[in-house]
Amino acid sequence: MPVTDRVIIAIAAVYGFLAVGLGAFGAHYLKSRISEKMLNVYQTGVQYQFYHALALLMLGVLLHKEGGLSPVYLGRSAYLFTAGVLLFSGSLYILALGGPRWLGPVTPLGGVCLLLAWATLLFAALQK
């Protein structure tokens, strides 16, 4: 399914909205309920989610621009950013809240998706 600028911007908006809400939840509710170490893990998830929400927003803007970068590679990058945030930040949230430890290996898979998303964006920029 081809990714449109509107879909990418909508995903960015949802991720940004959730990052603000989850950050506030962590700062106000979880602060006194989980260990400092787990709160730091949780906050890392929020930070990465926010950074990549902004990256997705920029991808949507780039895709909207006529004659810009390759829409195929921008779309692939958007898929990878979306999956990366879900796997990376999502697993950190669950782990910080006492989820099963077997989720630990999911976090690096999310990180690999995020790295591949950035590499795909670089490839899009270098295409003629």
Alpha carbon distance 72, 61 (integer Å): 14
Q: pLDDT-based confidence at 105, cuts 50/70/90?
A: very high
pLDDT digit string (tens) for 42-70? 999 999 999 999 999 999 999 888 777 88
Q: Are 54 and 31 in contact (CB under 8 A)?
A: no
Residue 47: which of 109, 105, 83, 55 has the closest Cα?
55
> 97: which DSSP letter?
T
pTM (predicted TM-score): 0.91
Q: Are 61 and 16 in contact (CB under 8 A)?
A: no
Query: Half-sphere exposure (CA, 13 Å, Cβ side) for 27?
Result: 8
Q: Are 125 and 74 in contact (CB under 8 A)?
A: no
pLDDT digit string (tens) for 5-39? 999 999 999 999 999 999 999 999 999 999 999 99
Alpha carbon distance 45, 51 (integer Å): 10
pLDDT of residue 116: 98
Q: pLDDT-based confidence at 1, cuts 50/70/90?
A: low
pLDDT of residue 22: 97
Alpha carbon distance 127, 20 (integer Å): 35
The tokens for 81 are 């950013």
